[in-house]
Amino acid sequence: MAVSLLLSLFSPLSPAAASEKETPMQSYVSAMQPGWNLGNTLDAFNPNDPETEGDETAWGNPRVTKEFIKEIKKQGFKSIRIPITWDKRMGGAPDYTINPDWMNRVQQVVDWSLQEGLYVMINVHHDAWKWLRTMPANHDEVMARYTAIWTQIADRFKNHSNKLMFESINEPEFLNVDTTTQLALIDEINTTFVHLVRQTGGNNDVRPLVLPTLYCNAEKLRVDSLANTIAKLNDPNLIATVHYYGLWHFGVNIANYTKFEGDAIKDVDTTISNVYDAFVSKGIPVIVGEYGLLGWDAADGVPQHGEMLKFIEYFTSKSVENKITLMLWDNGGRFDRRALQWRDQELYNLIMASLKGRSSTGESDLIFVRKDAPAQDTVMPLNLNGNVLTSIKNGDYELIKGTDYVLNGEDLIFKASFLAKLTESAELGEVALLTTRFNNGADWTFHVQYNDTPVLQNAEGTTGSFAIPTAFNGDRLATMEAMYAAGGNAGPHNWTSFKEYGRNYLPSYATNEIKLTSGFFKEVSDGEVILKFHFWSGAIIEYKITKNGTSITGTAL
C-alpha cells in the first residue's frame, strides 16, 4: 500500500473529534482482539551456549512452523505478539550487527503470521534485563546498542504491511536509580525509538508503534508518565502497552488470598481505570501485551481453578468494555504446541465468550457432600451477570428443575435427594461433573466432591525431600499456614502466616501427599513449627514439624 494511503488511514484526529468517534489507531487495535503471545520461543535463550544462547527450542517449545501459525489463527486469534531476544545474536560494538540467520528466521515467522492475516507485534524482549537495565551506569553504550538493533529491524521490515507493529522494549527497568530517574530513562528510550523508526522510511513513516510504561506496570504514576511522552511526540500512530497478571497475592495464592474477591477485584478495576483515563479516554489505544496469572507457572491449581476462571471472565469482559485489547501470555502452558489442543478447554472457552459479553459464574466450582452428614440441600450462589440459566447436565442426564434443583433469584439450590443419589454407594472423591448452561456466555462446571475429614500421618525426611502422607478423602487443599510453636510466622514471606502455594507447599492428589519444598525450609529456623492446612470444604487440620539442621520430623496432631 502506498505511503500516502497509509498517511490517510492513520491521520490524526483533533481532541474534539477523538472524543466523538473512534480514532483510526483505536480501530486498528480493536481489530487485534483477541491476541496471543508466542512466548518462550524467539525470546528463549540457553545460558550454556555463550556464542548464540541456543535457538527457539531452548525453553522447551518446538520450532515454529507455518502450520502452527495457521492453527493459532484457526483458534480465533486476530493478532500475535512475537517476543524476541537479540542479545548474543548480534556482534559487538560499534556496529552490533544482528546475525543474518537470526534476522531471517524472525522475518520468516513474521511473514507466516502476516500471510495468515494476523496483526503482528515484534519487540526487543529479554534484552531489557540482560543489558538495557544497566543504562544508568552505561548510558552511551546501552543507547548505541539499542539504536543499532532498532535501526536494523526497522530497515529490514520497512516495506512490510502496517499490520506489523514494533514494540520498543519489554518490561523496561533500570538498576540502582530512583523512580523519577527511571521514568526519565524510559521516556528517552521511547522517544528515541519513535524518532529512529520514523526516519527509516518506507511504511515506517506511519507504522503503528507500541510504547510501554515503566515495567509495563499500570500504576497511575507510570501511565501518566507515558501519556506525557505520547503527548510530547504528537504522533497519531502510537499505542500504549501494559502487562497484567492480577493482584500478586491472589495470583500466587499467598496471604490467604485464595478467592477472586475484594482486593483482587479492586486491583482489576484500578488497572483498567488507570489505563482508560490516561490513554483510551484521550484517543490513545491500549494493548495489554501480556496477561495471565503468575501462579500458572508454579503449579496446577494456582490459583484454584474456579477462582482463576472468575478472574479471567471479569478481567476480559471489563477490558473489552473499555476498548482495551488483550494478548494472552502463553509460554506453552496454555496451548499445547505439540498436541495442538488447549490444556484447559474451560479457560479457552471463557476467554472467547468473554470477548462478547459477561459469562455466568458460581461462587465456587466445588460442591462438597460430607460423608455421614444428614442429607441437606446445598445452596450455590451464582453471578448470573444478566444471563439466564437454561439447563444443568450430569453427563447425558439433564437435571429436572424443581426436583433436582431450584433457582431462587441467583441462588442455585441442589436438592438433598439429588445429591444423595450421586453419593449413594460412592467412594470418596469426585462423584459428578455438573455442566451449567446459560442463554449467553460460557458454561460453568461444578465438581461434586463426596468428602470426609482429611487425615495426615507422621513422616520423616530432610529439607530437600519431605512429604506428609495425606488421605485427602475427597477434599482439596486451599492454603497452608506456618507458625513457630514459640510464636511468630515461619518460612518465606514471614509478614504473613499463609505461605505461597506451589513454591512452598504442594498437594499431590495422585500420590496422596503434601510436599513441603526446599525453598520453604531454607527460611525456617530449627525448632517446632505448627502448620495449619485449610481445605476448601472448610476443614482445618493442624500438623507439627520439627526441624533440626537438615532433618525434618512430622507429627500428626
β-pair partners for 324: 286
20 in active site: no
Helix (H, G, I), strand (E, B) or coil at 180: helix
> Nearest Cα to 315, choosing from 373, 380, 243?
243
Of the candidates 53, 56, 167, 290, the residue annotated as catalytic is 290
Q: How many Å apart are CA 504 and CA 255, to the nearest integer?
A: 12
Of the candidates 167, 171, 307, 500, the residue annotated as catalytic is 171
Cα distances (angstroms) measured from residue 348 to each of 86, 101, 343, 354, 405:
31, 35, 9, 10, 28
Q: How many Å apart are CA 113 and CA 164, to the nearest integer?
A: 9
460 in active site: no
∠ CA 326-356-338, nearest 5°, is 55
Helix (H) / strand (E) element for 435: namely strand 429-438
Torsion of CA 87, 89, 92, 95, to 10 degrees: -110
- Whether 165 and 210 have beta carbons less than 8 Å apart is answered as yes
Cβ contacts of 403-406, under 8 Å, gap ≥ 24: none
> Nearest Cα to 367, choosing from 311, 413, 301, 330?
413
Amino acid 444 reads: W
Helix (H) / strand (E) element for 513: namely strand 513-516
The alpha carbon of residue 414 and the mean position of all alpha carbons in its chain are separated, in whole angstroms, by 33
Helices (H) and strands (E) in the chain, counts: 15, 28
β-pair partners for 546: 528, 553
Query: Which residues are catalytically annotated?
Result: 171, 290
